[in-house]
Structure 1
Amino acid sequence: MSATKQYYRVMLGPGSCYAEDGVAGRWIGADWSFDFDLSDKLLLEREEFKRAMRPIFLENNPDKTKVAAGLAAGMLYTICRDMKAGDLILTPDSQGSYFVGTIAGSYYFADGEDIPHRRRVDWYPGKIDRSSMSQELRNSTGSVGTVSNVTKYAAEIDAHIKGDPAPVLVATDELVEDPSVFALEQHLEHFLIQNWPQTELGQRYNIFEEDGEIVGQQYPSDTGPIDILAISKDRKELLVVELKRGRASDAVVGQIQRYMGYVKDELISEGQSVRGAIIALEDDLRLKRALSVTQGIDFYRYQVSFRLLKGAA
Structure 2
Amino acid sequence: MRKPPKPHVIAETQSDGSVKLTPMWAWVRAHPGSSRCDLDDPNTNTHKIRDDFHRQGWDVADLDNQVRITPPESAERVAEVLGVTGHDETTVEDEDIEGAWFAFERELQAFVAGNLAAIDVGGKRLKLYSDERGGGIEYPTGVGDIDILACDESDGALVVFELKRATSPDRAVGQIARCMGWVRVHLANGRPVRGVIVARRTSEYLRYATVAVPDVSVYEYSVKFALTPARAPDAE
2:154 aligned with 1:244, yes or no?
no
Provide the secondary structure at the position in 2 that maps to 1:231.
strand
2:84 pairs with one of 152, 157, 174:
174
Task: State how far apart, in whole Å, the 1-side matches of 2:171 and 2:127 are.
Answer: 26
* 2:105 partner letter: E
Residue 285 (structure 1) aligns with: 204
Provide the secondary structure at the position in 1 that maps to 2:149.
strand
Deviation at 1:291, TM superposition (A): 0.8
Residue 30 (structure 1) aligns with: none
Task: State how far apart, in whole Å, the 2-side matches of 1:261 and 1:299 are.
Answer: 18
The number of residue pairs the alignment matches comes to 139
Is the CA contact (8 Å cut-off) linking 1:240 and 1:275 kept in structure 2? yes
Task: State how far apart, in whole Å, the 1-side matches of 2:181 and 2:147 are.
Answer: 15
In proportion to residue count, which structure has more helix? Answer: 1
Provide the secondary structure at the position in 2 that maps to 1:183.
coil
Task: State how far apart, in whole Å, the 1-side matches of 2:170 and 2:117 are.
Answer: 30
Deviations 1:1-27 (A, max 9, x none): xxxxxxxxxxxxxxxxxxxxxxxxxxx
What TM-score, normalized by structure 1, do the two folds share?
A: 0.40
Task: State how far apart, in whole Å, the 1-side matches of 2:141 and 2:124 are.
Answer: 26
CA separation of 1:260 and 1:210: change in aligned 2, threshold 3 A: closer
Is the CA contact (8 Å cut-off) linking 2:168 and 2:202 kept in structure 1? no
Residue 106 (structure 2) aligns with: 186
Deviation at 1:179, TM superposition (A): 4.8
1:204 pairs with one of 125, 130, 136:
125
Task: State how far apart, in whole Å, the 1-side matches of 2:176 and 2:212 are.
Answer: 14
Deviation at 1:299, TM superposition (A): 0.5
Task: Tell me the percent identity.
Answer: 33
Task: State how far apart, in whole Å, the 2-side matches of 1:245 and 1:252 are.
Answer: 12
1:218 pairs with one of 117, 138, 162:
138
Pairwise mapping of residues 32-47 of structure 1 onto structure 2 (< 5 A)? none
Pairwise mapping of residues 1-313 of structure 1 onto structure 2 (< 5 A)? 174-177=84-87, 178-180=90-92, 183-201=103-121, 203-210=124-131, 215-246=135-166, 249-270=169-190, 272-311=191-230
Residue 146 (structure 1) aligns with: none
* 1:299 partner letter: V
- For the aligned residue pairs, the C-alpha RMSD in angstroms reads 2.8
Deviations 1:242-273 (A, max 9, x none): 10234651221110011011111111113x12
Is the CA contact (8 Å cut-off) linking 1:176 and 1:247 kept in structure 2? no
CA separation of 1:179 and 1:203: change in aligned 2, threshold 3 A: farther
CA separation of 1:205 and 1:310: change in aligned 2, threshold 3 A: closer
Deviations 1:192-236 (A, max 9, x none): 11111110138422211359xx81111011121101111111353
Task: State how far apart, in whole Å, the 2-side matches of 1:310 and 1:273 are.
Answer: 47
Is the CA contact (8 Å cut-off) linking 1:263 and 1:274 kept in structure 2? yes
Deviation at 1:309, TM superposition (A): 2.5
Is the CA contact (8 Å cut-off) linking 2:167 and 2:203 kept in structure 1? no
Is the CA contact (8 Å cut-off) linking 1:175 and 1:247 kept in structure 2? no
Deviations 1:69-123 (A, max 9, x none): xxxxxxxxxxxxxxxxxxxxxxxxxxxxxxxxxxxxxxxxxxxxxxxxxxxxxxx
Task: State how far apart, in whole Å, the 1-side matches of 2:231 and 2:170 are.
Answer: 50
